[in-house]
Amino acid sequence: MKKAVTFLSVFFLAAIMANANTQPDKVKMKPALLVIDIQNEYLPMMDQKDIKSGLEMIKYYIALFRANGFPVIRVYHTDPKTGPAPDSEAFEFPKTTAIKPDDPKIIKNFPSAFKKTELDNLLREKGCNTLFLCGLSAVGCVISTYYGALDLEYNTFMLEDGLISHNATLTGHVQEICRTVDYHSLKLLLENISR
């Protein structure tokens, strides 16, 4: 089943690329990576099976977007009453995450990174129309952002093995029910987008 979903995702991405490159009335794909809520406060609550591989894959995905000149957008969660407080250690991503101070930063108070934030405006200013999501929680904020992006008519994909949740089995289910792209397919795609 997973191979069939991956094949369909690659086929769908190839179709987008083909249409963007051959039909003048089609909009070219302009991707962005959303790295969602991999904050020190929340990581201890996640399934250890997901954390090790998830954080490693997120580093690879960030490097892949950087190597191809596409935006990496970091998303942070806080609750105004319970925190974590912005600029606290609990609020930050792990130091091993390859984010940069000039990566755009969105702070949210709701599960969806689009609700009452400037994310949509930021993406439109950058001309982005295709989003790739990684981070945590796969069953909470990531999937909420995924459906929020679809509601705003972005082409939206989860990144295989770049998702983390409190239950690794549920993380796998999210990857099965959402459009999901693996690392090698995404690498091929990003390296061949005409600009």
> For 85, phi and psi rounded to 5 degrees?
-70, 130
Distance CA 28, CA 128 (A): 10
With H, G, I as helix, E, B as strand and everything else as coil, classify residue 35: strand
Q: Give residue-wise pLDDT tens across range 79-129.
A: 999 999 998 999 999 999 999 999 999 999 999 999 999 999 999 999 999
Extract the tokens encoding 117.
């934030």
Confidence of residue 27 (pLDDT cuts 50, 70, 90): confident
Question: 77 lies in which domain range?
Answer: 2-191
Mean pLDDT of all residues in the chain?
Answer: 91
Q: Give residue-wise pLDDT tens across range 29-83.
A: 999 999 999 999 999 999 999 999 999 999 999 999 999 999 999 999 999 999 9
Instruction: Tell me how many domains the chain contains.
Output: 1
pLDDT of amino acid 194: 74
Q: Are 181 and 157 in contact (CB under 8 A)?
A: yes
Q: Give residue-wise pLDDT tens across range 135-162.
A: 999 999 999 999 999 999 999 999 999 9
- CATH of residue 136's domain is 3.40.50.850
Distance CA 184, CA 168 (A): 22
What is the 8-class DSSP label of residue 140? I
**CB within 8 Å of 49: residues ≥ 6 apart:** 168
Query: Is pLDDT at 130 greater than 90 in this prediction?
Result: yes
pTM for the model stands at 0.88
